[in-house]
Amino acid sequence: MTKRKLTREEIEEDILVTRYYQVQQYLKDNKALVIGVAVAIVVVIGGIIGYSVYSDNQETKAQNMLSNAQISFMQADYENALNGNPNAFTAGFKTVMSEYSGTKAANLSHYYAAVSAFKLGQTTDALSYIQDFKTTEGILGVAPIQFYASILEAEGNFSQAGDKYVEAAEWEETPTTTPQNYINAANAYIAAGSSDKALTIINRLLEDNEIGPNYVTQAKKLKGQLKSNA
């Protein structure tokens, strides 16, 4: 008897059936493994969602706490802004930093805390706080870097202050902040006894045809001081 050839549809159906039973047998033989992988996937997805919700909640709580400290800061009450006011049941920037680390509010608290400590004459603490502040990109990052340099100057670290002023000048170049921070850098280098670095910065300014006449005057004055002291 001649064997009938299977049609294309029958062949494909046979392959699908065979594959189905192969998968079924694999699932049967590896039930524990499959369940374990499935559970792991659920746990990972659940963990991601859970962390996202937790992170959002933490940020909200941190922002609320930060806003209370900001009120004291805006009133120039730097002591309570930094440490909180137990009588008023308000927390300060230090609490936000310690209890909600990793949040945007905690990062901003490092900057506020640095300013508050600096205003209170606690320059060493101010330096510690500003070191942990993650600087914002763009023009908004210039002022914190410039302030960082000011703290270094107050601590007597003039060479480091000069480097930090240069960083501020080049972070986001503008017609005002860039030349002013170069001038600040030159002054800091002069205070550090680094005349060569100061002269390099001054010449860089004088070669810029776009800076205002006020900065040109300051740069020429500093260059004259360096020549007279040479």
Distance CA 73, CA 80 (A): 8
What sections of 75-176 are H helices per DSSP? 78-83, 93-99, 104-119, 123-131, 142-154, 158-171
Q: What is the value of pTM for the model shown?
A: 0.74
The domain made up of 136-230 has a fold known as: 1.25.40
Query: 27-72 pLDDT, tens per residue?
Result: 455 555 444 544 444 444 444 334 344 467 888 999 989 988 999 9
Query: 144-193 pLDDT, tens per residue?
Result: 999 999 999 999 999 999 999 999 999 999 999 999 999 999 999 999 99
Please report, for the chain, the start and end positions of each structural domain, with discontinuous segments joined by +: 43-134, 136-230
Of 88-92, 124-128, 149-153, 190-194, the range with the lowest mean pLDDT is 88-92
